[in-house]
Amino acid sequence: MRNGPSPLARIGARLADACERFFPDAFVFALGAIALVFIAGVSVGVHPSSLVTEFGKGFWSLVNFTMQMALVIVGGFVVASSPPIARLTMRLASIPKTPRGAVAFVAAFAMLSSLISWGLSLIFTGLLVREITRRIERVDYRAIGAAAYLGLGSVWALGLSSSAALLQATPSSIPPRLMEITGVIPLTQTIFTWQSILLASILIVMSIAIAYFSAPDAANAKTAKDLGVPIEPVEVEQFEAKTPGERLEQTPILNVLIAALMFWFLITQFREKGGLAALDLNNFNFAFLALGLLLHWRPRSFLRAVGKSVPATAGVLIQFPFYGGIFGMISNTSIAYGLEWAFTKITTKETFPVVVAIYSAVLGMFVPSGGGKWVVEATYVMGAARQWGENLGWTVQIYNASEALPNLINPFWMLPLMGILGVKARDLAGYSVLQLAFHVPVVILLCWLLAHTF
């Protein structure tokens, strides 16, 4: 019988230990990206005053998107922490029986739920992790926390909340210049192609296997207690109303009526826009808030859940404006034109899928927003795709698959999960870096191979 941890587990543990020492806070990444883009702009001839101006203008350009992202977290938390879902979380947490099995189970749940909504995946899986670690002793908190993040680091953009695919399927959302190049691309030509489904399936199976075999055994695990994180059970509030005001807070009538109105609106949206075209970010948030009202049943329970969700939005609220500044420096100066020129010059028909994948992944380190980044690069990426006769729907999916890769090392999207788990980015980064080492070659290879099937 073999003794000691597996080679993959030893690599995962060493990476995790190294990241605990050297990986900075997420905010440091944002500030470093600003400095890097500024230096790059100056080096290609952009005047510093222009970069400063566009940084300042762009700083507030993502205010609406910031609010949408914050509400994704709030809505996901409200639904995931509602009494029915809390009870479901407890039942799900009882399924895995071993530390390694728990890590694999969380990885699978994170990725499958992210295909529905990345916000729900982060919040629901985070709460599931806390309940599992309370039940199973000696589960490595870093490994299971990184497994909970796999939805955002692997397949979320291949699912229903894909910002790029939803944008391309919604005529009113497509910028005029991009509309001239692509027209409307329905979801049947992006996330619902067999190639996209195959790609997502391969990534899910591979990620679960890596999560399982890299997880430390009980003897070598670093638990939540070892990291100083207190773990409390998922709480279903019990409250007895004593005053007339408290009885109003406890009556379900208002919650049910308002939720009914909200669902009525969503039905009209689906009728007017035509099915999946109505699945934009606003309607996603609207649906989760309506569902939260219904699942919490009482105003008091709903508001209490909202209050608990707010701390998890702190990183999004403070960092998104800085990323808006980066967005401004790239998209509103000659940096964008230089990228467009370089992109069309260095690609050929054969190398186009590979270059798109690599470029989208690299740019994602500086503009970590699936929808916002797509607006930056879509015009020249899709223009080049038409030039080389590439399938436009698959080009969107190449972007989606590769856009998720930098999430595994860019701590920005870890922020909501870190808030729930009570950890730092460095605690999750080691096992995420290990996943990235496998994902990069597989994603690039599959994007290239499957491009030849159209």
Q: Give the CA count within 13 Å in the CB-facing half-sphere of 292.
A: 28
At 437 the three-state DSSP class reads helix
Q: Each residue of 122-139: pLDDT tens digit?
A: 878 988 998 999 889 889
Q: Is residue 388 part of a domain?
A: no
pLDDT band, very low/low/confident/very high, at 4 (cuts 50, 70, 90):
low
pLDDT value, residue 239: 58
Q: Is residue 75 part of a domain?
A: yes
Q: Each residue of 398-411: pLDDT tens digit?
A: 999 998 898 888 76
Is the pTM value of this prediction over 0.75? Answer: yes
130 touches 145 (CB < 8 A): no
Q: Is residue 354 part of a domain?
A: no
Which stretch, 23-27, 41-45, 248-252, has highest mean pLDDT?
41-45
Q: How many domains does the chain have?
A: 1
pLDDT value, residue 103: 96
Q: Where are the alpha helices (DSSP H) in 136-193?
A: 141-148, 150-153, 163-169, 176-182
First to last CA, the chain: 49
Question: Which tokens hold the place of 317?
Answer: 């609220």
Q: Is residue 447 part of a domain?
A: no
**Rg of the chain's alpha carbons, rounded to an integer?**
22
Closest CA to 422 of 288, 237, 227, 276: 227
pLDDT band, very low/low/confident/very high, at 443 (cuts 50, 70, 90):
very high
Q: Is residue 372 part of a domain?
A: no
Which stretch, 109-113, 125-129, 219-223, 383-387, has highest mean pLDDT?
109-113
Q: Is residue 339 part of a domain?
A: no
pLDDT value, residue 1: 40
**Burial call 198-220: b when 16+ CB within 10 Å, e when fewer:** ebbeebbeebbebbbbbbbeeee
Closest CA to 443 of 390, 401, 391: 401
pLDDT band, very low/low/confident/very high, at 110 (cuts 50, 70, 90):
very high
Which stretch, 8-12, 151-155, 405-409, 438-442, has highest mean pLDDT?
438-442
Write out the DSSP string of 341-381: HHHHHH--TTTHHHHHHHHHHHHHTTS--HHHHHHHHHHHH
State yes or no: pLDDT of 445 exceeds 90.
yes
Q: Give the CA count within 13 Å in the CB-facing half-sphere of 41.
A: 27
Instruction: Tally Cβ neighbours within 10 Å of residue 447.
Output: 25
Closest CA to 9 of 214, 217, 209, 219: 214
Q: Each residue of 30-61: pLDDT tens digit?
A: 788 889 889 988 888 888 998 999 899 888 87
Q: Is residue 405 part of a domain?
A: no
pLDDT value, residue 104: 96
Unique residue bearing structure tokens 């740019």: 363
Q: Each residue of 274-321: pLDDT tens digit?
A: 665 666 667 878 888 999 999 998 888 888 888 888 877 777 788 778
Domain of residue 213, residue span? 7-232+239-332+411-439
φ, ψ at 332 (rounded to 5°): -110, 15
Q: Is residue 453 part of a domain?
A: no
**High-pLDDT (> 90) share of the chain, %:** 28
State yes or no: pLDDT of 69 exceeds 80.
no
Question: Which tokens hold the place of 427?
Answer: 């605690």
